[in-house]
Amino acid sequence: MPFPALPAPLTDALSERGYGEPTPVQAAVTEERTAGRDLLVSAQTGSGKTVAYGLAIAGELMDAGGSLGPASEPVALVVAPTRELALQVRHELDWLYGKAGAQIVTCVGGMDPRAEQRQLQRGAHIVVGTPGRLRDHLERGRLLIGALKALVLDEADEMLNLGFREDLEFILEATPAERRTLLFSATLPKPIVSMTKRYQRDALRIEVAGTGRSHADIDYRAVRIAPNEMEHAVVNVLRYHDAPGAIVFCNTRETVRHLHSSLLERGFSAVALSGELGQNERNSALQSLRDGRARVCVATDVAARGIDLPGLGLVIHAELPNDAETLQHRSGRTGRAGRKGVSVLLVPISRRRKAERLLSEAKIRPEWEGAPTADVIRARDEERLLADPVLFAEPSEEDLATGRALLSGRSAEEIASAFARLYRSRLPAPEDVYDPGFGADPRGVDHGPQEKGARKERGPGGPTVWFKLDIGRRNEADPKWLLPLLCRRGRVTKQEIGAIKIYDRETKFEVAEAAAKKFLAAAEGMDDDITISLADGAPSGDGAGKPRGRPANRSRPPFGAARPPAEGKPRGPFHKNHSGGGRDGGKPRRPKRKA
Half-sphere exposure of 153 (CA within 13 A, CB side): 31
Whether 497 and 487 have beta carbons less than 8 Å apart is answered as: yes
Per-residue pLDDT tens digits of the chain, which is 595 residues long: 678 888 889 999 988 888 878 888 888 888 989 988 999 998 766 678 899 999 999 999 988 778 888 889 999 999 998 887 888 899 999 999 999 999 999 999 878 899 999 999 999 999 999 999 999 999 999 999 999 999 999 988 778 766 788 999 999 999 998 899 999 887 777 888 888 888 898 889 988 754 444 456 789 999 998 877 899 999 999 999 999 999 999 999 999 999 999 999 999 999 998 877 777 788 888 888 888 899 999 998 877 776 777 678 999 999 999 888 788 888 888 877 667 899 999 998 778 889 999 999 888 999 999 999 999 999 999 999 999 888 888 989 999 999 999 999 899 999 999 999 999 899 999 998 878 776 544 333 343 333 333 333 345 667 889 998 888 887 767 787 788 888 888 888 888 898 899 888 889 999 998 889 889 888 876 545 678 888 875 554 443 334 444 443 344 444 334 444 444 444 433 333 333 444 344 444 444 444 4
Q: How far apart are CA 152 and CA 218, in angstroms?
A: 28
pLDDT confidence of residue 484: 80
Q: How far apart are CA 556 and CA 574, in angstroms?
A: 9
Helices (H) and strands (E) in the chain, counts: 20, 18
pLDDT confidence of residue 213: 45
Q: Residue ranges per domain, the chain?
A: 8-207, 215-373, 377-425, 455-595
Nearest 5°: phi and psi at 12?
-65, -40
Residue 523's nearest CA partner among 496, 487, 475, 473 is: 487
CATH superfamily of 215-373: P-loop containing nucleotide triphosphate hydrolases (3.40.50.300)
DSSP H or E segment with residue 575 = none
Residue 29's nearest CA partner among 20, 44, 40 is: 40
What is the gyration radius of the CA atoms in the chain, in angstroms? 30
- Select 8-207's CATH number: 3.40.50.300, 1.10.1740.10, 3.40.50.720, 2.40.50.1020: 3.40.50.300
Whether 288 and 294 have beta carbons less than 8 Å apart is answered as: yes
pLDDT confidence of residue 590: 47
DSSP H or E segment with residue 39 = strand 39-42
Name the architecture of domain 455-595: 2-Layer Sandwich (3.30)
Beta bridge partners of 247: 297, 315
Give CA angle at 293 (288, 298), nearest 5°: 65
Please report, in angstroms and rounded to a whole number, the separation of the first and last CA atoms in the chain. Answer: 75
DSSP H or E segment with residue 104 = strand 104-107
Nearest 5°: phi and psi at 162?
-85, 5
Sheet containing 76-79: order of strands:
104-107, 126-129, 76-79, 150-153, 180-185, 39-42, 204-207
Q: What is the 3-state secondary structure (H, E, C) of 128-176?
A: EECHHHHHHHHHCCCCCCCCCCEEEECCHHHHHHCCCHHHHHHHHHHCC
Same-fold call for 8-207 versus 215-373: yes
Residue 587's nearest CA partner among 478, 433, 436, 437 is: 478
DSSP H or E segment with residue 288 = helix 279-290
pLDDT confidence of residue 481: 77
- Rounded to the nearest 10 degrees, the angle between the axes of helix 83-97 and helix 8-16 is 110
C-alpha pair distances (Å), 113 with each of 82, 120, 346, 368, 481: 16, 10, 42, 49, 53
Locate the DSSP E strands across 439-487: 464-469
Whether 62 and 100 have beta carbons less than 8 Å apart is answered as: yes
Q: How far apart are CA 546 and CA 568, in angstroms?
A: 17
C-alpha pair distances (Å), 320 with each of 44, 50, 171, 431: 19, 28, 35, 21
DSSP string, 169-221: HHHHHHS-TT-EEEEEESS--HHHHHHHHHH-SSPEEEE-TTSSGGGTTEEEE
Q: How far apart are CA 260 and CA 273, in angstroms?
A: 9
